[in-house]
Amino acid sequence: MERNSFSVLFFLKKTKLLKNGEASVCMRITVNNVRSETNIRKSISPSLWNQAKECSRGKDRKSNDLNKFIEEARIKLYNIHADLKQEGLPITAIILRDKFFGLEEKEAPKTLIATIQEHNDQCRQLVEKDFALITVRRYESCKRYLAELIKIKFDKEDIPLKDVNGEFIRAFEFYLKTEKDCAQNTVIRYMKCLKKITNRSIANEWINKDPFAGIKFHEKEVHREFLTWDELQILVNKKFEIPRIDLVRDIFVFCAYSGLSFIDVKQLSSEHITKDREGNYWIRKARQKTKNMCNIPLLDVPLSIIEKYKDHPLCKKQNVLLPVPCNQKMNAYIKEISDLCGIKKNLSTHCARYTYATSVCLANGVSMENVAKMLGHSNISMTKRYAKVLDQSILSDMQKVGSLSATTV
């Protein structure tokens, strides 16, 4: 538990005596080595002051009044400190001073890093309810990068929200690109995190002007790797003697035939498998990221993989259908697998989801709407990012045009 060091000291200000030759009595409050000094508007002759006992040696009425004030002030300050500590409120030298004099406490201006931290703490509590863990981590990385920029640019730990303007936004973009070597689309993700904070600040009237006004960002189209049908069959039929490689290949193939993301296949359990009246098996599972329901027919290949691992110790221990390793191991081993299969592509766990949308579904005539439903997308525009138009689809459509042209000649 954090412990606050606290002390009160009364002393004379001898450097500047009053016209009557007396010195002003000052009070110094110290909390965690941070001081706040103030004049208590009382004075005494320096010859009467006993610094060791922090009181007047005099026996006159003025000395008695001063000593009584000092004693009562000390008791009052310790009571204020005890009350704040009991209520779990912040304790600083300035807060104690203001409360002692009965001054109205002014609300401290909102600052950028503190506001982001407050937002991130709330998001952390809503993980697996409203937010995915990866989203919260992105906000935390954004806060860390902003703190680094503030330290470099202003030599401060934090800045008021009112200082977040268009110039600061552009400086953050430049910092991400140069110092953090972030790609354009990654920069935009962090900018969206910051924009959410500024929009929240505008809504709460902490700032009046949108610092993003007039600033636009354009995402670059990214070429997503996926396996063609032939490459997928090479992967399916390849024999591996090393168990860890064989396991990772099976998990990747399962995702490539079901479209599940890494986290969803890791969480897959028997309760997510249903059987319809015709005897067909389906995966019916809400996506961990968006909570959208996926409805995916289980093909023979993924069914055989589930059967293969039904007695695996990890599956029984965690009550899941597949013993999925961590994402880092998956990605490392998948790259090893692609080399062993002679596939010259930079594969990752997410490539399996692209493979499902493109080579398994669209290449075999599944409609975009059905692909969106199986992937658990809210709208078809997201699905279009996953499902690339294949050359064979273009060729098939143009062959139809060619056959129509031939009949009209």
- For the segment 325-346, the average pLDDT, to the nearest whole number, is 90
pLDDT at 408 over 50: no
pLDDT tens digits along 338-392: 999 999 888 888 899 889 988 888 888 888 888 888 888 877 777 776 665 555 5
Question: What number is the average pLDDT over the span 45-50?
Answer: 92
pLDDT over 90 at 174, yes or no: yes
The answer to whether residue 406 scores a pLDDT higher than 70 is no
What are the structure tokens assigned to 4, written together? 């606050």
pLDDT at 1: 40
What confidence category does residue 57 fall into, taking pLDDT thresholds of 50, 70 and 90?
very high
Determine the pLDDT at residue 367.
85
Which residue did the predictor score with more confidence, 156 or 406?
156
- Check: CB of residue 308 under 8 Å from CB of residue 315: no
Q: At the topology level of CATH, where does 112-203 sit?
A: DNA polymerase; domain 1 (1.10.150)
According to the model, what pLDDT value does residue 141 have? 95
Band of residue 337 on the pLDDT scale cut at 50, 70, 90: very high
- Which among 212, 282, 205, 253 is positioned nearest to 351, based on CA atoms? 253
CATH 3.30.70.260, applies to 229-395:
no
pLDDT at residue 409 greater than cutoff 50: no
Q: Please give the pLDDT value at position 401.
A: 56
Lowest mean pLDDT among 126-135, 143-152, 344-353: 126-135
User: Across all residues in the chain, what is the average pLDDT?
Assistant: 87
What are the residue ranges spanned by the domains of the chain? 6-101, 112-203, 229-395
* Distance (Å) of CA 106 to CA 76, 81, 158: 21, 19, 19
The reply to whether 112-203 and 229-395 are identical in fold is no
| pLDDT at residue 396, rounded to an integer | 57
Per residue in 226-251, pLDDT (tens digit) is 898 999 999 999 999 999 999 999 99
41-55, 105-119, 382-396: range with lowest mean pLDDT: 382-396
pLDDT band at 393 (very low <50, low <70, confident <90, very high): low
In which band, very low, low, confident or very high, does the pLDDT at 187 lie, cut at 50, 70 and 90?
Answer: very high
CA-closest candidate to residue 348, choices 357, 337, 359: 337
